[in-house]
């Protein structure tokens, strides 16, 4: 097996040079301390593990090794592994997050979902959206024709500071005003179309502005970059709100309005308030409720849930108190049922949206409603019982099945069983009956997109190969000793083999092995955890002697496997295989080669395959 290259092992995604630059600039203690409270413990730092509930700290960060390890849940790795796990993002996004924290630029345009947008195009689209946001905001503040937009926002009781801070804008009531201004600012037609800000005319040449005569709400990603817009009509248009279309930057099913501004408060309180409108989230922030965000005119999706889980443990869903709100509860249960989040639904005054409630009642009564919010499953049980005639057995059975249909989606069987208690009491049946019905409704297999299935437990590492890896990680200069006696293809455990490939690559470049840099290059959480386990649990030792002993055993295993292969061939009366077996026996016994004989089985005193077992 050839030694793997290290400069661009994942071509088209992100180079190892960029990963290494970010890794060397990042201090794992400083980065992790942004998420958990670390306390000095000798040469290391400790904390309560952020990945599982515990009362005694078992989470250790080693600044010398730049690795972390939880001895409670077993998670471990480098700074990228931690950020990826805590933020629930992939490796590339973790590198970008860490790079942003330490001031190392990481290109944004790497392919993630099979898209074809180039890095250069995405960069231009970010510039175009930032320009458009300034353009709309300037019109809102200065243009005489924007008076009705200013009047509308004033009527909703938004103050000037809020409007300026959030960049509220106005799109001129013109078919080509934005397009002309953008081209004067040196943006191309192709860039304008790709951004979704203009639309190509059908049947004739030219383009027209997507947003016209609307109050404009810039939509930003978590990093605060404008990626799209929401426009609120000022007329009797049937389309009250209009959003940017899907673009290389924007997908409304994966974005939450205001998350860039709410993120700090959300992380601090581990809770997030999700509203259904731009103005609802905006008024929450104006009234000091900084942990509010809004959906973008679409139902919550599993992508939203994955996004929320990076930052919060409790979710408060603020729906209108009407039929649409009841439907929203049902849709939310479909995506939150198996999300392992505490999801709550408060009650507001019917006919009054959150923005109006805050203006009329103030922040304190509003927060009181949020504090009194009920569990999403309790609200669903109430709705199910209201929809059916609970005075009849058929009605109770339908209500039971409606509620249990949601519980059947929960992967945590214990949690589903606990939730079956109140429904048994409410419907008036024995709990064992509810349990039996729930078991019958459980799906035999998960559907694509229903969330992560339980992962099978990884098999144990090969003990001899594991010891060889431990020697190499403890003393990197032993890499040539390994390669002098065996090939990487001789390692049967694929995980060990991939880690050793990384060791060889690093040794070729640096003549040493930095475990934290190795972990970053591997880009796989499981492999990073293996490296952390070995590095943080390995003390002093005679690594060269242990390595030679392990290599002896690996070579013995190789001979044993070769012997067994030849025996299988000999069973088919292959003369060459028979001769090879005889020669293998003689080399093992230290005898000189001799002419081929009629030996078909080991001679007396020779133990066959067992002679090559290496304990």
CATH code at position 319: 3.40.1360.10
| Whether residue 242 is found in the same domain as residue 121 | yes
Q: How confident is the model at residue 404 (pLDDT cuts 50, 70, 90)?
A: confident
Q: What's the Cα-to-Cα distance from 168 to each of 160, 214, 243, 366, rounded to whole Å? A: 10, 11, 14, 24
- The answer to pTM > 0.75 is no
Q: State how far the Cα of 518 lies from the Cα of 520, in Å rounded to an integer.
A: 5
Residues 286 and 316 grouped into a single domain:
yes
If asked whether residues 437 and 333 sit together in one domain, one would say no
Q: Where is pLDDT greater, at 290 or 507?
A: 290
Do the beta carbons of residue 416 and residue 442 sit within 8 Å?
Answer: no
| Integer Cα distance of 325 and 336 in angstroms | 16
In a shared domain, residues 83 and 194: no
Q: The domain spanning residue 202 has which CATH number?
A: 3.90.980.10
Using DSSP's 3-state secondary structure scheme, residue 104 falls into coil
> Has residue 46 been placed in a domain?
yes
Same domain, yes or no, for 176 and 59? no
- Residue 545 belongs to some domain of the structure: no
CATH number, domain containing residue 72: 3.90.580.10
Q: Are residues 399 and 323 in the same domain?
A: no
Within-domain flag for 134: yes
**Contact between 210 and 199 (Cβ < 8 Å):** yes
- Judge whether 459 lies within some domain: no
Alpha-carbon torsion, ordered 502, 504, 508, 512, to 10 deg: 80
- The answer on 189 and 122 residing in a single domain is yes
Same domain, 183 and 123: yes
**What residues contact 540, with CB distance under 8 A and at least 6 apart?**
none
Q: What is the pLDDT of residue 282?
A: 97
Closest CA to 520 of 77, 200, 14: 77
Q: Return contacts of 433-436, CB within 8 angstroms, 24+ apart.
A: 434/400, 434/404
Interatomic CA distance for residues 255 and 296, integer angstroms: 7
290 and 365 inside one domain: yes
Give the single-character DSSP code of 613.
-
Rounded distance between C-alpha atoms, residue 73 and residue 52, angstroms: 7
Is pLDDT larger for residue 168 or for residue 246?
168
81 within domain boundaries: yes
Looking at residue 582, what is its pLDDT?
65
Q: Which domain holds residue 235?
A: 116-247
For residue 510, being part of any structural domain is answered with no
Is residue 332 within 8 Å of 300, Cβ to Cβ?
yes
DSSP string for residues in 496-560:
HHHHHHHHHHHHHHHSS--HHHHHHHH--HHHHHHHHHHHHH-----HHHHHHHHHHHHHHHHHH
Looking at 317, 344, 372, the residue that finishes a domain is 372
Is 197 within 8 Å of 189 (Cβ atoms)?
no
- For residues 273 and 269, give the distance between their C-alpha atoms in angstroms, rounded to a whole number: 11
Flag the least confident range among 48-52, 196-200, 451-455.
451-455
Residue at a domain's end among 217, 247, 277: 247
Q: Give the angle subtended at the CA of 56 by the CAs of 50 and 60, to the nearest 5°.
A: 55
pLDDT for 487-512, tens place per residue? 888 888 888 888 888 888 887 777 77
pLDDT tier, 230 (very low <50, low <70, confident <90, very high otherwise): very high
B/e letters for 418-432, b = 16+ CB within 10 Å, e = fewer, are: ebbeebbebbebeee
Could you please report the per-residue DSSP string of 189-258? HHHHHHHTSEEEPSSSS-EEES--SEEEEEEE-TTS-EEEEEEEESSS-S-SEEE----SS--GGG--BT
- DSSP characters for 385-453? HHHS-TTSHHHHHHHHHHHHHHHTT-S-HHHHHHHHHHHHHHHT--HHHHHHHHHHHS-SSPPTTS-PP
Average pLDDT over the chain, rounded to an integer: 81
449 belongs to a structural domain: no
Question: From CA 123, how far away is CA 541, in angstroms rounded?
Answer: 52
Q: Are residues 243 and 126 in the same domain?
A: yes
Q: Nearest Cα to 26, choosing from 86, 81, 107?
A: 81
- In this structure, the answer to whether residues 339 and 217 fall within a common structural domain is no
- pLDDT reading at 147 higher than 90: yes
298 plus 398 within the same structural domain: no
Q: How many domains does the chain have?
A: 5
Alpha-carbon span 88 to 315, nearest angstrom? 17
The residue from 187, 213, 247 where one domain ends is 247
pLDDT value at 615 more than 50: no
Assess contact for 31 and 480: CB atoms under 8 A. no
Q: What is the mean pLDDT of residues 559-564?
A: 77
Query: What's residue 317's pLDDT?
Result: 94
Distance in angstroms between the alpha carbons of the first and the last residue of the chain: 27
Within-domain flag for 10: no
Give the model's pLDDT for residue 3: 42
pLDDT, average across residues 243-265 = 91
Average pLDDT over residues 66-74: 85
Strand, helix or coil for residue 488: helix
Percent of the chain with pLDDT over 90: 29
**Cα–Cα distance, 504 to 174 (Å, whole number):** 63
């Amino acid at each position: 097996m050839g030694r793997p290259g290290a400069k661009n092992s994942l071509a088209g995604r992100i180079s190892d040079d960029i990963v290494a630059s970010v890794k060397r600039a990042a201090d794992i203690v400083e980065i992790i301390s942004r998420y958990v409270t670390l306390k000095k413990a000798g040469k290391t730092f400790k904390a309560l593990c952020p990945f599982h509930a515990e009362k005694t700290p078992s989470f250790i960060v080693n600044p010398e090794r730049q690795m972390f390890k939880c001895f409670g849940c077993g998670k471990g790795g480098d700074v990228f592994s931690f950020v990826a796990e805590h933020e629930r993002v992939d490796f590339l996004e973790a590198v970008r997050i860490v790079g942003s924290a330490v001031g190392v630029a990481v290109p944004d345009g790497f392919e993630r979902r099979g898209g074809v947008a180039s890095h250069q195009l995405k960069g231009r689209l970010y510039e175009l959206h930032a320009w458009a946001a300034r353009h709309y905001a300037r019109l809102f503040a200065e243009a005489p024709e924007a008076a009705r937009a200013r009047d509308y926002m004033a009527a909703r009781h938004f103050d000037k500071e809020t409007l300026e801070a959030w960049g509220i804008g106005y799109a001129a009531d013109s078919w080509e005003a934005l397009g002309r201004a953008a081209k004067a600012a040196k943006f191309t037609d192709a860039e304008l179309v790709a951004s979704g800000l203009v639309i190509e005319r059908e049947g004739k040449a030219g383009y027209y502005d997507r947003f016209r005569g609307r109050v404009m709400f810039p939509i930003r990603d978590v990093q605060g970059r404008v990626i799209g817009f929401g426009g609120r009509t000022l007329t009797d248009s049937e389309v009250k709100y209009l959003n940017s279309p899907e673009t290389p930057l924007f997908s409304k099913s994966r974005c939450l309005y205001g998350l860039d501004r709410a993120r700090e408060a959300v992380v601090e309180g581990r809770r997030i308030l999700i509203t259904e409108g731009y103005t609802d989230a905006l008024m929450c922030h104006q009234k000091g409720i900084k942990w509010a965000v809004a959906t973008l005119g679409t139902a919550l999706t599993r992508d939203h849930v994955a996004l929320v889980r990076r930052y919060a443990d409790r979710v408060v869903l603020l729906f209108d108190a009407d039929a649409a709100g009841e439907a929203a509860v049902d849709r939310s249960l479909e995506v939150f049922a198996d999300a392992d989040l505490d999801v709550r639904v408060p009650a507001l005054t019917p006919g009054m949206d959150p923005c109006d409630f805050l203006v009329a009642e103030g922040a304190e009564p509003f927060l009181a409603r949020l504090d009194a919010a009920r569990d999403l499953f309790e609200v669903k049980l109430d709705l199910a019982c209201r929809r059916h005639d609970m005075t009849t057995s058929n009605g109770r059975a339908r209500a039971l099945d409606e509620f249990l249909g949601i519980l059947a989606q929960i992967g945590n069987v214990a949690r589903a069983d606990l939730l079956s208690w109140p429904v048994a009491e409410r419907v008036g049946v024995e709990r064992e009956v509810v349990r039996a019905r729930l078991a019958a409704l459980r799906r035999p297999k998960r559907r694509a997109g229903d969330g992560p299935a339980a992962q099978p437990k990884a098999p144990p590492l090969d003990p001899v190969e594991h010891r060889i890896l431990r020697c190499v990680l403890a003393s990197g200069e032993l890499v040539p000793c390994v390669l002098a006696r065996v090939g990487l293809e001789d390692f049967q455990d694929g995980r060990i083999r991939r880690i050793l490939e990384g060791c060889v690559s690093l040794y070729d470049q640096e003549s040493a092995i930095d475990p934290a840099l190795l972990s970053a290059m591997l880009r796989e959480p499981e492999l990073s955890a293996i490296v952390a386990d070995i590095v943080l649990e390995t003390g002093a030792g005679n690594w060269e002697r242990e390595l030679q002993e392990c290599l002896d055993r690996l070579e013995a295993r190789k001979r044993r496997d070769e012997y067994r292969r030849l025996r299988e061939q000999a069973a088919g009366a292959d003369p060459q295989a028979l001769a090879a077996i005889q020669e293998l026996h003689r080399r093992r016994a230290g005898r000189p080669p001799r002419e081929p004989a009629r030996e078909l089985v080991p001679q007396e005193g020779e133990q066959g395959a067992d002679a090559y077992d290496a304990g």
